[in-house]
Amino acid sequence: MKKYYVTVLVLLCLGFYTENTLGQQDAQYTQYMYNPLSVNPAYAGSRDVLSIVGLYRSQWVGLDGAPTTLNFSLHSPIGKKVGIGVNVTRDEIFISDETYIDIDFTYTLTTSEKGRLALGLKGGAHLLNIDSNKLNTGPFNNGDPETQINIDNKFSPQVGAGAYYYTDKFYLGASVPNILETEHFDESSNTNNSSATAEERVNFYLLTGYVFDVSEGLKFKPALLTKIVQGSPLQVDMSANFLIQEKLTLGAAYRWSAALSALVGFQVTDQVMVGFAYDRETTELQQYNDGSYEVFLRFELFKRDEGMKNPRFF
């Protein structure tokens, strides 16, 4: 029965329709505040150092075919106003897998003594693979040719843009990681004359956060991420983290009508930070899985004799 529930959930999440259309959405992260580059190209170079990030997410643990995501990114300033970045994402969910490879470019304007506005562009490639043969077992083997969708590493270009304003205490970003609504078509996907299509839908993001000084050794860091996708419910992620002695971060998050999360992070050294998040569904889905896990690692390079002159908490 677990596989049955997974399939229903996968079809709902990916957006299968009677016209054999598959609507794609971007991967989601609970620790988005530590890696905004995954959704906003304007973040590239904003930390003023070479920043390397790795993140692994296993969603709905215990369900066969549940989503898993691996994200790797690096970005750095080159000069005083220009930044570059690379972002690679591998997303797998039941019968499909996707790979994104992006190059980011930013130009930063100084708006005040403490404020900066970065404008970013992104270009890249997207590879989509769908294997409906995985459905041909158990209750899914109904012999209906309408369900046969096979897409073999279909390539599509990606073009995105974003803006990111920040100070040492506040940030506000808006972005569209991909403005192209590409449709993938495979004539051999089924045996009749109907079409099988996977469509890349435009995802709009708004993220913001602030750092409050509660006391000398305690900071409060609320953050908000909003995602809008046509044909899907509004996604709102709210988090509240406390930074203790600029080392240990403890927090909680809520994904609107979806999940509650616990977060912990530790700044091992000036260069290395690790983080962990656990999500628990607030919907009926919680009956069929053991929650979602996310592991985060950030490594940053700068001159040893200088250290990080301006510590950033996001």
Q: What is the pLDDT of residue 192?
A: 46
**Is the model's pLDDT at 77 over the cut of 50?**
yes
- The domain containing residue 37 runs over which residues? 28-135+148-180+199-303
Q: Is this structure's pTM higher than 0.95? A: no
Q: What is the pLDDT of residue 85?
A: 97
**Range with top average pLDDT, 102-111, 175-184, 301-310:** 102-111
In a domain, 140, yes or no: no
Q: What is the pLDDT of residue 6?
A: 46
Q: Which has more pLDDT, 183 or 32?
A: 32
In a domain, 308, yes or no: no
In a domain, 45, yes or no: yes
pLDDT band, residue 149 (cuts 50/70/90): low
β-pair type (116-131, 218-229) = unpaired
Q: Which has more pLDDT, 210 or 185?
A: 210
d(CA 64, CA 58): 12
In a domain, 267, yes or no: yes
- Looking at the 3D structure of the chain, how many domains does it have? 1
* Averaged confidence pLDDT in the chain: 84
HSE-up of residue 158 (Cα within 13 Å, Cβ side): 31
Q: What is the pLDDT of residue 55?
A: 97
Q: Find tokens 């012999």 and name the residue.
A: 143
In a domain, 11, yes or no: no
d(CA 281, CA 311): 34
In a domain, 86, yes or no: yes
- What would the mean pLDDT of 74-78 be, rounded to a whole number? 95
Q: What is the pLDDT of residue 54?
A: 97
- Whether 274 contacts 53, CB under 8 Å: no
- What would the mean pLDDT of 140-145 be, rounded to a whole number? 54
d(CA 228, CA 43): 20
pLDDT digits (tens, 9 = 90+) for 186-233: 554 444 444 545 566 789 999 999 999 999 999 999 999 999 987 788
Q: What is the pLDDT of residue 15?
A: 43
Q: Find tokens 């995602």 and name the residue.
A: 227
- Whether 211 contacts 221, CB under 8 Å: yes
Whichever domain contains 127, its CATH number is 2.40.160.40
In a domain, 92, yes or no: yes
- Whether 144 contacts 135, CB under 8 Å: no
In a domain, 238, yes or no: yes
**Range with top average pLDDT, 96-100, 108-112, 283-287:** 108-112
Q: Which has more pLDDT, 133 or 107?
A: 107
- Whether 40 contacts 175, CB under 8 Å: yes
